[in-house]
Amino acid sequence: MGHYARFSRRLVAVHECPVHDSRGNAVAFALRDACQWADTQDVKGIVVRAGVSRPETLATLVVASDQDKRVRAASRRALAGTAAPTSLHVNIHPRGDAFIFGKETRHIAGPERLREDIADASFLISPTSFFQTNVRAATILVQQVLAAIPSGATVLDLYAGAGLFALPLALAGRTVVAIEENHSAVADGQASLRLSRVPVERCRFIAKPVELAVGRGRAVALQDFGAVVLDPPREGCQPSVIERVFGAHGPAKAVYVSCDPESLARDLAHITSSGYRIESMQPVDMFPHTPHIETVVLLSRL
C-alpha cells in the first residue's frame, strides 16, 4: 500500500500516511497484513474512516471478486487482531476504472454506519457515502455556513451529500430542502435526521441530480428560497446550474463551498456577472502539508 507518485498511477510504498489518524493507519495496515497472510490477490484497496467525536473506525475492503474464500479468512484474522476496526464491510468492484468503490457493498461485522457529531447534529455515515474526511475542519465549514445564512431563512442545499450543512441549518431554525443524487448519501441523511431529532417540517431530502432538480420540469422552485448553499464536486457547477440558480429568480444570499480554487474562480466569474457580489471568502486548510483547501464564499444579490 502507498501513495501514487505525482502525475502518475505508480504506487510508492509507505508504512503510514502522515495525514491520516493514527487509528486509521493501524487498522489499514493490519488489514493489509491479514490479506498478505491469507495470500489473496483480489484486494484492490482498503478504505478506513476514523471517528473524531467517537472512538469508532469503519473499514472497507475493496475486492475484485467475492468468490475468493481467502478474503473471508483475511477478514476473520483482522477482526480478531488488536487493531480490529469497529465495523467492517466488503465492497465488490470488478471494473478497472478509477472509481474507489463498486456498486455492491456487504456488511461483515459491527455497526453498519459510523456515527459522527458536528454542530449539535449527529451523522450516520455509510462506507461508500461521501463525508468530509477531516471532521475538525468540516466543523469550521459548518460554522461558516451557519453564520452566513440569515435566521429563519428557507434554504436550498445543493450537492447536499449526507446533510453536512442541511442538518445543522435545520437544527438552528432554518427550513431546508436538500438535493443529492447519491441514494446512499440520501439514506444516510434521512437516518441522521431521525437520530438528530430534526422536525420533519424543517428538512427534507430529494434524491435527484442538481441539474434536474433546478432545471426544466424542476423539483424545486427557486423563488421559494431566500438562500442557497452549493457544495459541488471538485469540477464545480455545470453552467446550466449557475444560470438557473443565479438567474432572475435567484435567492438574496448564497454560500458556495469549494474544494478546488481553479473551478471556484471560474464559477465565481460566471456568478458575479449574473448580478451577485462577493461579500467574503474564507479558506480552510483541510489537510496541512497538502494543497487541499476548502473555500467558503458568501454572495449577495446586487
Residue 13 neighbours by CB distance under 10 Å? 7
3-class DSSP assignment, residue 111: coil
Q: At what angle do helices 22-38 and 69-80 cross, to 10 degrees?
A: 140
The answer for residues whose C-beta is within 8 angstroms of residue 56's C-beta and 6 or more apart is 50, 86, 87, 111, 114, 115
CB of 85 closer than 8 Å to CB of 75:
no
Which residues are 48's β-sheet partners?
59
| Contacts by residues 286-293 (CB-CB < 8 Å, ≥ 24 positions apart) | 286/132, 286/133, 286/134, 286/137, 286/259, 287/19, 287/134, 288/19, 289/18, 289/19, 290/19, 292/259, 293/259, 293/261
Question: Which residue in the list 35, 203, 237, 259 is annotated as catalytic?
Answer: 259
Whether 259 is a known active-site residue: answer yes
Q: What's the rounded Cα separation, in Å, for the pair 109 and 23?
A: 18
Which residues are 281's β-sheet partners?
297
176: left (phi over 0), alpha (psi -120 to 50) or beta: beta
* Whole-Å CA distances, 158 to 20, 69, 139, 228, 294: 29, 42, 18, 7, 17
Q: Which residue numbers are catalytic?
A: 259
